[in-house]
Structure formats: C-alpha cells, structure tokens
Amino acid sequence: MAMKKKISTSSIMPDWSQLPEELLHIIPTHLEDHYFDAVHARSVCRSWRSTFPFPSSLLRQSYSLPAFPLESKDLCCTLEKVPLFLFRVLTPPDAADASSEYFLGGLGQDKSNDHVELPSPLQCSVKVNVPGTEPILMNMLDCQIIPLGHKYRLMIGCNPEEYSAAFLPLNEQGGGGEFVALLDCTDLFLVLRSTEMRWIRLEKPSTASCKELFTFRGRFYATFFNGDKFVIDPSSLEATPLTPHIDSNFLVPSGNEELFLVKTDFLRCRVSRLDEEAAEWVEVSDLGDRVLFLGGHLGNFYCSAKELPHGCGLTGDSILFTVGSRNVTYPYKYGVHTNKRKAEDNINCWRSSRENRVLFRNRYDPVLSFRVER
C-alpha cells in the first residue's frame, strides 16, 4: 500500500517575509488610515517591522506648554493626548465558554516596557497592568480593537502629577493652528490660549471638585461632584450652568453628533439629549446602536454596536455602568419589566436587563477590565 505523503501546513502557507522589497514599500502607503492593520503587518517579521512605521494616531502625543506659577515655582508643563480603545478578545466559534473578555483603556507606545514582541514572528502584544495581578500580554492579533476617541491630561514638573485637562482646536479640521486649553488645578481653573501662550487664572464656577472636563461642538463642558454642570465659552470664558443639578447624572458626548444626559438612581435611568437651539434637554427612549459606558476613571464614552458581532454580550441601545462598589452588574435596557413590578412602576426608562452578567476584574488605571457572561 502506497503511503500518502503528509503535507506540512507551513509548506502551503506563504512566506510573507520573502515579499520583494519594491512591493513591501508600497503596502504602507495603503494602510495610512488603517492603523491596526499596520500594527498587524509590523508583526510579520523584522524586515516588515522596520518598514512599517508605528501609526502616530496610536501614540500618546505630547505637547510642551509654557510653565506657570504653581506653589511659587515655575514648573514645566506637558499636555498628553491619550487615545482610548475597547479591546474585545476574540474567541473560537466553537468555544465551550460563551463569555467575552473586554479591556477599555489606552494603548502603550511601541517601546521597551509598553510593547513586547513574543518569540513567534506573528505575535504582537501590548502589556496591560491590572493591579493585584501579573501583567497581561494581550496579543493584538487576537483582539478586535474599537477606537473610542481620546482624553487629555496635563503633567506638571519633573515628578509629574496628572491633572484633568481639555484641549479645543479653534479650526474645523482640528490640526495645528490656534487652540485653547483648560486645566483643572484643584482649587481653580487655568486657561491657555495659543495666541498669548500664557496661563490665565479662571475662577471655578462651582464650589465642588471637578469631576470631568471635555469638549463638544466647540465649547468646554465641566461637571462637578455635587451635580453642577457648566458650559464654558472658549472666547469669553463665561460659564453657563446646565440644569438639572443632580449628583447622580452623567454627560456623554457622542462625537460631535449628540450630547446625552443620563439621570439615574442606579435602579433606573432616564436619558435626554441636548437641543442646542432650544437650549433644553429632550428625553429620548432610544440610543440607536450606541453602548454608553458611564462613570469610570477614564470618563464617559460610547461605542457603536455595529462594530461588535452578534453574540458578543454587548448590544446597542444599552448603558453599562463602570463605577460602583460591586464587581457584578448588568447592562441597562429601555422598557424592562421587573419580576416584582408594582403598580406605580414605570417601564418607560432604562433598567438592569439581567440578560448578560458583567463581571469587572479591574476598574482602575491603567485599564478597565471586564467579562460579559451570556
């Protein structure tokens, strides 16, 4: 009986490291707007790694700003732009465990401690530090990665202490040109205009500590721990209060399309969107394909469920609280019926759906880690 020759898998897989050099230099020009494909390409082999530049949009860009007096000292000042992403660890379709692992946070630079290249030439990993555990090496090739925008933070002095900051480009494209920066400095705000390049003290509009600074449609927004919320004009620096003044509510910008207000007692939620022309909040019953992430140390964010496959545990028109004392929660959905519904209960709100359990492994810097169990 003739023996059948076993064909090695490696013999039928193309050796991309042998691609002609003239073709290799063409590929990066087609990946300028596909930065994660560029990262994957860098993991093929050393020659590809040296040819493909690490995408600048994934790096933590830093800007040197003028020093300003703080505690009677002139300290150097650096503004850092931190891109944020939602990582979903891919699982085989026939996996026995139906849960999905997620990480929410920033991506480290392609350098020594932040980026680790494993022995296999097809692996490209990012180190994720979860307090209380050993660092996790996340393989980029084994993750779906969804951009969530970015946040700004200011670092002051040789031993940096981080401050919350917001950065507002004054041109429509947002690249270069004039800008205004707003810094939360505990007891006061500081403002820097690129036309003057000096820090100006700005009295805080609230007596409480600032909770979050962000921008939306060309203006600054500041929220405080006592429920105060203000919109600050970048030209006049005039602060206008936003109502209602409730401590358990959250502002969530959806790009530059919508600004949502989520009012909650953590048993139920009501959601409104800002009607800028009418200067009022309009209650809504549908978030579309959005998933809102609320309350974490990274701020409030959203992602489009269109980016997520069916059966991954997260679906559109839902709210997930990433803050709280309990490690277990559930996504909130609109119109959920409770098991012990009382006559006065109103289903026209968002409630805990009890559909998919969410187990948080870590809620703090540098990354938020959770598992969705189906």
Q: What one-character-per-residue DSSP string does 246-304 give?
A: -SSEEEEEETTTEEEEEEE-SSEEEEEEEETTTTEEEEES--TTEEEEEEETTEEEEEE
DSSP, collapsed to helix, strand or coil, labels residue 75 as strand
Place of tokens 């990433």: 322
Asked if 20 and 47 count as a contact pair (C-beta separation under 8 A), the reply is: no
CA–CA separation, 348 vs 164, rounded Å? 36
Asked if 126 and 36 count as a contact pair (C-beta separation under 8 A), the reply is: no
Asked if 322 and 360 count as a contact pair (C-beta separation under 8 A), the reply is: yes
Retrieve residue 365's tokens: 């810097």
Q: How far is residue 263 from each of residues 13, 181, 298, 349, 351, measured CA to CA in Å?
A: 55, 29, 19, 10, 12
Query: Amino acid identity, residue 330?
Result: Y
Q: What is the pLDDT of residue 253?
A: 93
**How many beta carbons lie within 10 A of that of residue 20, not counting itself?**
8
Nearest alpha-carbon partner for 66 in 58, 75, 56, 57: 75
Query: Amino acid identity, residue 328?
Result: V
- Please give the angle made by the CA atoms of 167, 255 and 28, to the nearest 5 degrees: 85
Positive/negative CA dihedral, 86, 91, 97, 98 = positive
Tell me which residues of the chain have a pLDDT lower than 70. Answer: 1-14, 68-74, 92-97, 107-141, 158-162, 172-176, 244-247, 338-346, 364-366
DSSP, collapsed to helix, strand or coil, labels residue 361 as strand
Q: What is the pLDDT of residue 12?
A: 55
Q: What is the pLDDT of residue 73?
A: 62
Q: What is the pLDDT of residue 112?
A: 38
Q: What is the pLDDT of residue 67?
A: 80
Asked if 190 and 202 count as a contact pair (C-beta separation under 8 A), the reply is: yes
* CB burial of residue 336 (10 Å; 0-12, 13-18, 19+): middle
